[in-house]
Structure 1
């Protein structure tokens, strides 16, 4: 019963350029039949904190995710435990929900979207980077309509109580072409090597819970590498990597699907009194406001889902 109540709370919680002159080589490859990473790719990930693999997810799967999202926007499917996040500044500008829905959160339980989080090629790569026993801890379908604001510099570990960081990884797959004008991802290569989780907070103009790093010097413009990606291209990135995305100043949508994984042996730690205290209290406050008392770590435990045991690689 508590699980149902908590999920209902989660559902309700969020409703409501400069380019580098010299960009380091990004090791990437096509994987039509295999997902075995080369030594060069593994080294690139360890050294830079990210790795792009081109056309990892096929067009049929991408189209299924996109159509399912559009059906969800039109209330043609039962979203179940999925949370809908809206770009508030765009709500009054259009009656078309696709024009202001920013993302669908917690989609790892949805029958269509879970085919992404459990995609064999995706999990094969994840297993080589964090270990063979994997749980998905977060998944989102992100829709960036024209007029959507930036996502400020941040580190994904800010949101998670799982440790160690090296056994956590994020994935981000372009559903539409992602480029600078429609707000593609950018990263600061090697920023994960500092092994530091920076202080985050709610910055001016950002959506609720879209926290950014307070110290702007952690993401200087001349250190940012923009990841322009085609449909199916997938980036794997370390949770301490400093990254963000630009505003969508184009006339088209920028859709992607993203997930975070952790090794099943990861620990859930108490982050109260640390630099993550702000997000822990914010999440707990949102849940309590709806009549349930739940610890931040337990909140994430309830959202996790084991997706792979021992790897066959």
Structure 2
């Protein structure tokens, strides 16, 4: 017998509730105090498998990469490696029909909304491959790259697709570093990828301050844009795949970074855009590549 409208509405509400992830007071307090929060098994195997298969399709050229950019690991290219073995990441994936199942996943948006509100724009996204032999990502702060504020209305999600360990280069964080409300000067880090900048203050390289975030597939960490973090080199024989995105509230606004420690980021990103044939400003690169994923059209 066909379901009545009332039954259909109830079933739809049940399905919607399944896609929600309501944070406890303790979880919210942990994030506020430490600048990050790990939620175990937020994504299931089928969802992760779909994302991994899409990466392989793009890496092999079986599907059009569209607006995405493939970034290869310079160290591995010099060794003559090709294809998946040399790809560090694919970035700006939030316009892809498959990858957007992550960046716009209802469960993910549910968590994000509890931190930055219901008007959400995805600003940046990456599928990270990290093959064996990949170099470290030095300590840095994501806000260094962002010409929008306030920082409290910006957040990142990072989900493990493979098992992530210290051996294959898991993330590390310095808990409570966001509480300083300080954006460190960054510079070009030696022996790392192009546009990988590292904090110049040597105090953040004290590994005794680092907390290593070993994670299982589906585990997801959310973190503040001023949190000092990075990742180690992959010295294992297996890949370390993950997917990540940065989000901002629609209430955010763009700022002028002239005369600040962010001038280097602005210069490098504008130069990279020009190399690709786009003569656009630092702010415009973010305006053009971002996408509204929840709520009304934002200031961004």
TM-score, normalization by structure 2: 0.90
Q: How does 1:79-158 map to 2 (within 5 A)?
A: 79-158=65-144
* Aligned-partner Cα distance in 1 for 2:99–2:266: 27
CA contact under 8 A between 2:20 and 2:106: conserved in structure 1? no
Any idea what the Cα deviations from partners look like across 1:43-76, whole Å, max 9, x if unmatched? 0000000000000011111001101111111110
CA deviations on 1:249-269 (whole Å, 9 max, x unpaired) are 000000000000000110011
Query: Equivalent residue of 2:238, what SS?
Result: coil
Q: 2:164 aligns with which of 175, 178, 186?
A: 178
Say which one has the larger Rg: 2
Aligned pair partner of 2:32 in 21, 34, 46: 46
Aligned-pair distance for 1:93?
A: 3.1
Contact 1:172 1:234 survives alignment (8 Å): yes
The answer to whether the aligner puts 1:199 opposite 2:185 as a matched pair is: yes
Partner of 1:66: 52
After superposition, give the CA deviation of every residue in 1:195-244 in whole Å (9 maximum; x if it has no partner): 01110110111211000101120342111000000000000000000000
Residue 179 of structure 2 aligns to a residue whose secondary structure is: helix
Deviation at 1:308, TM superposition (A): 0.6
Partners of 1:252 and 1:195 in 2: how far apart?
37
Per-residue CA shift, 1:134-160, capped at 9, x if unaligned? 000000000110000000000001111
Contact conserved, 2:165 with 2:214, CA < 8 A, in 1? yes
- 1:293 is displaced (CA, Å) by 2.4
CA distance in 2, matches of 1:228, 1:160: 27
Task: Supply the RMSD in Å over aligned alpha carbons.
Answer: 1.5
Alpha-carbon deviation of 1:294? 1.1
Between the aligned partners of 1:120 and 1:69, the Cα distance in structure 2 is: 21
Distance 1:128 1:93, change over 3 A: same
Contact 1:32/1:56 (8 A) holds in 2: no
Q: Give the Cα separation in 2 of the matches to 1:287 and 1:49.
A: 31
SS for the counterpart of 1:35 is: coil
- C-alpha distance in 2 between matches for 1:287 and 1:300: 11
Q: Any idea what the Cα deviations from partners look like across 1:159-196, whole Å, max 9, x if unmatched?
A: 11110000000010000000000000000000000001
C-alpha contact (below 8 Å) 2:19/2:106 kept by paired residues:
no
Distance of aligned partners of 1:104 and 1:291 in 2 relative to their CA distance in 1, 3 Å threshold: closer
Distance 1:285 1:270 in 2: 17
TM-score (normalised: structure 1): 0.87
CA distance in 2, matches of 1:295, 1:188: 32
CA spacing shift, 1:128–1:94, aligned 2, 3 Å? same
Secondary structure, aligned partner of 2:121: strand
Q: What 5-or-longer segments of structure 1 have no aligned partner?
A: 1-30
Matched-pair contact (CA < 8 Å) for 1:219–1:242: no
